[in-house]
Structure 1
């Protein structure tokens, strides 16, 4: 489990034959879970300047592999004694979104992200979402998009400062929304949930 708080901007040294080699200050151990741009991966080799991770074919079929180059967000999995911040992140990417609009504000920047409409039911106004491993709050939701308002500190400390219109993003929707929707849809497959119903159920946790 992760929190969505980026611990380091690491560097991809190579990515070939399903093996991702990361240069990082983090001292990983064999078998550790580490999120790279929001993707939970397992350490299969420890190097003097970082570690190797392996990607399953299923993972590769979902994520945007172009994000596995250059600078990347890195977060090691939580320890049991860690302080819980951010929100509950699994590192399981649901879909790839696209930056469609960037609007600077007085003390923040708005990002409009478009996604396949089938994922919108799991993206809740004022709920949590993970973008390339970053824990963020959703402001507004439309039929095929959502809006984020990013404060200057987040822009400075993450790769979001480099995002442009057209940038692809690894997106993990709200875990509780996914679980609740799955349970209820299988109880009554003909009835879909509204955002208000999902939000109300999530608040009971």
Structure 2
């Protein structure tokens, strides 16, 4: 589990194809790996990955074919910047919302504009996710916990304060940028309860 509070911006250093899957080597930027052990989880653009190797300034993780197909990691390349967050512990403040690292779909930046000191971003989302996205609800975009400001049939908008833009890859977004989306866990479980 994660909080959706990005701890560092990393960089993909290498992508190695292995039998239909991929192995990523990721430089961790300012993220300390002092407390990381083999088998720990780190969210990379909101995708929960398992650490299989690590050094002082990088780690490696295997990415399954399904994850490559269902997330933006399928288009990852050396030099790509990524949001990083290690998994939460009992001592981690829950500053965002509970994020599982299991991406629900891929959205796309539709529009960006200044909004006072913030930046408004509109996202197109898959129709299947629309029922889980509510005004003033939570959503994780590339692993970043954000509040939904407005929601339409197949789109929603958020506002990013300067701190969020500075500390995440969102400052690089432009129309057409594809992003990983994870809907609020509570919304997902409520729908499942209604089906039973």
In structure 2, stretches of 5+ residues that fail to align are none
Q: 1:150 to 1:54 in 2, by over 3 A?
A: same
In structure 1, stretches of 5+ residues that fail to align are 188-205
Contact 2:15–2:76 under 8 Å retained in 1 = no
Any residues of structure 2 matched to 1:54-93 within 5 Å, and which? 54-64=62-72, 65-67=74-76, 69=78, 70-93=80-103
Measured after TM superposition, the shift of residue 104 of structure 1 is: 1.1
User: Of the candidates 142, 158, 165, which is equivalent to residue 155 of structure 1?
Assistant: 165
Measured after TM superposition, the shift of residue 89 of structure 1 is: 0.3
Contact 2:12–2:76 under 8 Å retained in 1 = no
The structure whose residues are more often strand, as a share, is 2
What residue in structure 1 maps to residue 114 of structure 2? 104
TM-score normalised by L of structure 1: 0.87
Is the counterpart of residue 33 in structure 1 residue 41 in structure 2? yes
Is the counterpart of residue 144 in structure 1 residue 154 in structure 2? yes
What residue in structure 2 maps to residue 14 of structure 1? 14
What residue in structure 2 maps to residue 200 of structure 1? none
TM-score normalised by L of structure 2: 0.90
Secondary structure of 2:4 counterpart:
coil
Query: For residues 79-116 of structure 1, what are the alpha-carbon distances to aligned partners after superposition, in whole Å with 9 as ceiling and x for unaligned?
Result: 12222211000001000000011111112111110011
Measured after TM superposition, the shift of residue 67 of structure 1 is: 4.4
Give, in whole Å, the separation in 1 of the partners of 2:165 and 2:26. 23
User: Of the candidates 129, 135, 140, which is equivalent to residue 139 of structure 2?
Assistant: 129
Measured after TM superposition, the shift of residue 38 of structure 1 is: 0.4
Measured after TM superposition, the shift of residue 68 of structure 1 is: 5.4
Give, in whole Å, the separation in 2 of the partners of 1:68 and 1:39. 16
Give, in whole Å, the separation in 1 of the partners of 2:170 and 2:76. 13
CA RMSD of aligned residues (A): 1.3
Contact 2:26–2:59 under 8 Å retained in 1 = yes
What residue in structure 2 maps to residue 166 of structure 1? 176
